[in-house]
Amino acid sequence: MDAFGPFPPDCPDYTVGLAISGGADSLALAWLARGWRRHVVAFVVDHGLRESAADEARQTIRTLASFGVSAHLLTLQGLRRDARLQEAARSARYAALIEACVSFGCLDLMVAHHADDQIETVAMRSAAASGPAGLAGMAASRELSGIRLLRPLLCVRRDRLRATLDAHGIRWIEDPSNDNRRFERVRFRQDLSDADGLKLWTQANAFGGLRDERAASQVRVLVTDVLWHPSGFFIFPQKLPPADLLATLWRVISGRAYVPGVDVIQKLLEGPGAVTLHGVLLTRTSPWGWILVREPAAVGKSIRATSDGAWDGRWRLAHAAGTSIEGCTIAAIGTAAAAWARDVPGVVRRSLPALWRDGRLEAIPDICRLRGGNFRRVSFQWSGSHRASEGSFWRHDPFSTGKCGWRL
């Protein structure tokens, strides 16, 4: 775990989350994590895809308790049993895990991906003609929305994890889908030879090293040439960053799960002026320089005003003191922005959230200082890939390597 550190003291104020399925890999992770520090909490997901799933989840919680790990059950509902079942289950599982981590105050979530998982991942990406980024496989550390995902077992083979459980008398649950050749990963798992696996593992390490070097270089650019504004946009005062870093920042603003292709970004940059992609606008405006911002025409539809949902996948209602939100909706300010703040470019103002009631602007966000208009103010918190902080400008490292730049 030293590679991911330093960590705060082992105390109740800093609990590390564990994603536990009940299989051998995740139970081995839990057992090892409990030996590393006392204050860990396991989240056991009942995906409801098998009749025995609920009983298996309860059994897993009992197993975790036997070696001192407290656990909480998360239940998934409404998964469709079709060809994309595993992908849908994975997305729903991560969404539930992230929400649980935020609720419990966990900044880090450990998952049990191991060396064999890495080999299978690289094999599938190689078959799909992935480039160097895909062939690097899974990263040992990755930032998600509000948490850091850690994979401390990527250098450990599956057999060693099972041997660890056997040595300590810990029983695990076998998921029959792990042998179902209907799924692509299972086919690769069963068909790969040891020699092929070693070759793919070596390849992943080589490309992974290049990825780490590139990330360190990008952090240096972020520290010197990129600003993040709490209104939810990036500023490039001097010049545009390299295309691969710009693609990463593009994903932050768009809220999409994946980074756009570097070749696509590079082609966009060859144009003469402003460009749009995935609901994100890159444009130049005085006196800011280049800015990367949500395209006003692409923002999400209105939602009921609560503290639960994220409007446009980017903003949550954080505080509405003195303002009743009953019967209100959250929607873009749009052209109503012209009546108030001048602290940010107009294209930014039009894509910010506000409270509306019966088609009338009820309250504006307090992200920008008010310079006109008799409106109440309400606080919104950035809830996209990276959270905004209070204040005017601040620098942010979306890679959060722990070695370069800041982790905020």
Name the binding residues.
Answer: 21-26
Q: Is 15 exposed, middle or buried (0-12, 13-18, 19+ CB in 10 A)?
A: buried
Question: CA nearest 375: which of 354, 390, 389, 396?
Answer: 354
d(CA 134, CA 120): 12
d(CA 278, CA 150): 28
Residues marked as binding for ATP?
21-26
Contact present, 330 and 353 (Cβ < 8 Å): yes
The H or E element spanning position 25 is: helix 24-36
d(CA 301, CA 309): 12
User: In the sheet where 40-46 sits, what is the strand order?
Assistant: 70-75, 40-46, 16-20, 108-110, 148-150, 141-143
The H or E element spanning position 115 is: helix 115-127
d(CA 48, CA 73): 12
d(CA 378, CA 401): 34
Contact present, 366 and 378 (Cβ < 8 Å): yes
3-state secondary structure of 109: strand
Question: CA nearest 45: which of 22, 29, 16, 27?
Answer: 22
